[in-house]
Structure 1
Amino acid sequence: MKKFKDLECILLVDDDAPTNFIHTKMIQKSGVDVAIKAVTSAQEALDYITHTGAYEHTPDKMMQPGIIFLDINMPGLSGWDFIEEYRKLDSRFKIHVIIIMLTTSLNPADEAHAKSIAEIACFLHKPLKPETVVELSQRFFEEL
């Protein structure tokens, strides 16, 4: 198992539970030693990051994500809406967080939009692969 500094948790944000399940398995298969939290809405992701809502009374048991894999098209708050709300967060919730847009969208405008947003490190197409998890971990974090 590979361990990386400041990468204790990966947060999956996708409204499709089967996709979260598959991506969880891919992260596990990657050999990166990391906890995985999967949520099905952008609002739940914001609550998790800020220890509010359903996560208000469990901050001592929660790890701050080092990587957030974010879907674009979700009911309620979209991935774009998540970014707007994320920008408003106190900086202590954003230290060492890498946001990866992970989507099925083939729309070039979505990719261009994602690349124009400073908070988004890269734009990738689903499904997530084990080697991609390793590559991103090595790219953005120091291996221990």
Structure 2
Amino acid sequence: MTQKLNKILLVDDNEADNYLHKLIISEAQVAETIVDQPDGKAAIEYLLGEAGKLPPDLIFLDINMPRMNGWEFLEAYKQLPDEAQKAVVIVMLTTSVFSKDRERAERLPNFSGFLNKPLTEEDLLRVLREHFPDRFE
């Protein structure tokens, strides 16, 4: 059984990465909607605007971004009203090769995974099967 996610949110300042990741997600046909935001601040504003509407099921979050990086996003995310915190899964998707970043992420309560860029279809499907087993076998 495969039931598409309603929405995937990409939070990354790299337009080329967003383009590639949207292409991979689109070709896999696993989400009704794919939205990208250029940094954590824009993503928080987007989530606040989506509160009570259709929040994302999955967020792919970069670490290194201007204005508000991935760590700052996670701190701000915890402060959002409950209706804006409906993302089921937040996965760090980054070029960081530092083991300290992975260890820091693993200590976070809303941490669901850590992947290195670029996102591959194999990585995407593994995340979906792990975190949405009722939708993706």
Same fold (TM over 0.5): yes
Counterparts of 1:124-139 in structure 2, within 5 Å, are 124-139=115-130
* Larger RCO (CA under 8 A, 6+ residues apart): 1
Unmatched 5+ stretches in structure 2: none
Secondary structure at 1:34 match in 2: strand
- 1:10 corresponds to which of 8, 11, 16: 8
Q: Residue 79 of structure 1 aligns with which residue?
A: 70
2:102 pairs with 1:114? no
Structure 1: which 4+ aligned runs deviate by more than 6 Å? none
Seq. identity, %? 34
- Separation in 2, partners of 1:77, 1:63: 23
Normalised to the residue count of structure 1, the TM-score between the two structures is: 0.85
Q: Residue 61 of structure 2 aligns with which residue?
A: 70
* 1:32-72 deviation per Cα after TM superposition (whole angstroms, max 9, x unaligned): 13310011111111111110xxx7xxx79x63100000000
Structure 2 CA distance for partners of 1:111 and 1:25, relative to 1, 3 Å: same
2:91 pairs with 1:100? yes
Deviation at 1:2, TM superposition (A): 3.5
Unmatched 5+ stretches in structure 1: none
- Separation in 1, partners of 2:110, 2:29: 26
Normalised to the residue count of structure 2, the TM-score between the two structures is: 0.89
**What's the RMSD between the two structures over aligned residues?**
2.0
Contact 1:3–1:34 under 8 Å retained in 2: no
